[in-house]
Structure 1
Amino acid sequence: MKFDLHTHHFRCGHADGNIRDYIEAGIAAGLSVIGISDHTPYFGDPEEHPFPHIAMAKKEFANYVEEVLKLKQEYEGTIDVLLGIESDFFPAHAEVYRKVLAQYPFDYIIGSVHSVSEVSIFNKNRWKNQNKQDKIATKEAYYSLIQQSARSGMFQILGHIDAMKGNYPAFSDIPADAAIDETLRVIAENQIAIEINTSGKTKLSGGWYPSDAILERALHLGVEVTFGSDAHTPKRVADEWDDVAKRLKEIGYSEWVYFKNKQKVIVPL
């Protein structure tokens, strides 16, 4: 059984295609389940649409939910369309996000850390003047935010948990094993899944998020996994699904999961 829980569309301002395009691509890829999970608006900002090339406008949020629910009904019996969302995690605004997201019938919410100290995790310029200790502190701050997101109770899935390597591959070599292990323990304790996200191939790092080394430690610590292409164009729906399934088996996983009505569904590998 094939599924993909992480897809975007034109409303976020940096993806191509409409929601129907992604659903049709999912059918063509042989998916039984496709999750639509575009970026939340910036609910913590007073402006209506502060970052038009990063996230949707606040006024579009209800329209997004309505469209997914209509398509869910339309495609019933052909493919199971799930209503998801990828939510940023900002500790200062977490309660605002929690209140807004609770108003809608999401099947699941992906929690993703996209910025550390108000700088995008994909901004490679942040590393230019950092010494070794600065880099360690930045990496530990990143994983501290992921831990906080896991403890928040807001999410069923945590997105791309080593994506800070995306445009700075040397991130993986910064020593912070204790922070990563503690993060995985917190995720396991809170019964949240992490995604294997194949969009790393679109960044300088290539490959998937997270690394095989993190997945091996996650298995040891009892963390469950799911799949998300993080497609920003329909042709990437289910991208490398079979390769990921094969690698997970080699690592030692026997199952992965997805969420419907915020309830976990176990899928054997």
Structure 2
Amino acid sequence: MRIGLQVPSFTHPGGTEQIAPTFARTARAADQGGLHSLWVMDHFFQIRGVGPSEEPMLEGYSALAYAAALTERITLGTMVTGVTYREPGILVKTVTTLDVLSGGRAWLGIGAAWNEEESRGLGVRFPPVAERFERLEETLRLAHQMWKGDESPFEGEHYRLERPLNSPPALRRPHPPVLIGGGGEKKTLRFVAKYADACNLFDGDELPHKLDVLREHCEREGRDYDEIEKTSLTLLGEPSAGAAVDTIGRLAERGVDHVIFSQGTGQDLAPVLAEARAQTEKIVPAGR
């Protein structure tokens, strides 16, 4: 079982000056504690459910680049990039840069985007949902093309690239893993089956059903369901290794391969999860 940590909040006692040292301590502790992955949200405003929009929020790929320089083994990704936030060729270039500088530890975490408030606030075009999914599929197609080293023109309905050159290439082979976030049954999970290496689903009662839907899409696409890494984002109300182990066991029984704990404001989960990882590996080997 793989264990990850998401850092969704940068609100700390001491204000802005404490953001960098606090995030650095978290990244180092997660890396040294043997966690598999470290994630930040790709948002520009804080999101509802975590805090008000005005709370501090870092740009995701800059934050991951900072974490890459402080760590050695842990993989790094956004949970998840909204497809409308960056032109797709630039997004692939950005993830590739993170992969090269981290020694092959980058993920492409991506979804159809939902936060209209931050898009309008910062002048980012936010098309209707159907178009956002069309753009998501084109971006996934382009990512695979660029990571294959194919520089031929890309002609989509929304994106046209004359020469999608990506040099240097990513270190991870065959490419940085693609994780699609979301549980939409008609499009999102179909895209997972067709294009992705991993899915991310929220921990909840619908999780087993979503995995069944994914399995059905895999059958239709001729994809091996077991090739896809099933990740789940969850909260840990009680910050203890015992509670984390219980959550990991419950999600493993549901078919999850990689549990990602979202760190609440004021929590320090990296040491807790490191202890839980040590306990869990006695039962379920890492990388199950």
TM-score where L is the length of structure 1? 0.51
Q: Is the 8 A contact 1:89 1:149 kept in 2?
A: yes
Is residue 20 from structure 1 mapped to residue 16 from structure 2 by the alignment? no
From 38, 41, 45, the counterpart of 1:39: 41
Structure 2 unaligned runs (5+)?
45-52, 100-104, 120-127, 145-175, 219-224, 261-285
Which amino acid is 2:70 matched to?
Answer: K
CA contact (8 A) 2:109 2:181 kept: no
| C-alpha distance in structure 2 between counterparts of 1:142 and 1:232, whole Å | 32
CA contact (8 A) 1:9 1:19 kept: no
**Which of 191, 203, 214 matches 1:218?**
214
Q: In structure 1, the residue corresponding to 2:97 is in which secondary structure?
A: coil
Segments of structure 1 that go 5 or more residues without pairing to the other structure are 43-50, 73-79, 122-137, 163-178, 199-206, 250-254, 259-265
CA distance 1:231–1:11, change in 2 (3 Å): farther
CA distance in structure 1 between the partners assigned to 2:4 and 2:59 by the alignment: 25
Cα 1:11/1:97, change in 2 over 3 Å: farther
**1:161-176 alignment to 2 at 5 Å?**
161-162=182-183
Do the aligned partners of 2:198 and 2:229 also contact (CA within 8 Å) in 1? yes
Tell me, yes or no, if structure 1 residue 95 matches structure 2 residue 99.
no
Determine the C-alpha separation between the residues in 2 that align with 1:100 and 1:231: 29
The alpha carbon displacement at 1:194 in A equals 0.3
Judge conservation of contact 1:150–1:187 (CA < 8 Å) in 2: no
Task: Measure the CA separation in 2 of the matches of 1:157 and 1:219.
Answer: 18
RMSD across aligned C-alpha pairs, in angstroms? 4.7
How many residues are treated as equivalent by the alignment? 192
Match of 2:177 in 1: 156
1:84 aligns with 2:77: yes
- Please say if residues 8 and 39 of structure 1, whose CA atoms lie closer than 8 Å, have aligned partners that are also in contact: yes
Q: Do structure 1's residue 229 and structure 2's residue 233 form an aligned pair? A: yes
How much has 1:218 moved relative to structure 2? 0.6
Shifted more, 100-109 versus 211-220: the winner is 100-109
Kept in 2, the 8 Å contact 1:147–1:186? The answer is yes
1:52 CA drift (Å): 6.2
State whether residues 4 and 33 of structure 1, in contact with CA within 8 Å, keep that contact through their aligned partners in structure 2: yes
User: In structure 2, what residue type is equivalent to 1:95?
Assistant: G
Do the aligned partners of residues 9 and 184 (structure 1) sit closer, same or farther apart at CA in structure 2, a change above 3 Å counting?
same
Q: Is the 8 A contact 2:137 2:191 kept in 1?
A: yes
1:67 aligned partner:
67
Residue 109 of structure 1 corresponds to 108
- Residue 234 of structure 1 deviates from its aligned partner by 11
Structure-2 residue corresponding to 1:75: none
Whether contact under 8 Å (1:7, 1:22) holds in the other structure is: no
Three-state SS of the structure 1 residue aligned to 2:143 is: coil
Alignment CA distance shift 1:218-1:41 (3 Å): closer
Rg larger for: 2
Cα displacement (A) at 1:161: 0.6
Deviations 1:103-125 (A, max 9, x none): 22242121133327x3579xxxx
Instruction: Give the Å deviation of 1:41.
Output: 6.6
Distance 1:230 1:149 in 2: 27
CA distance in 2, matches of 1:84, 1:234: 25
Query: How much does 1:90 deviate?
Result: 0.8
TM-score (norm 2): 0.48
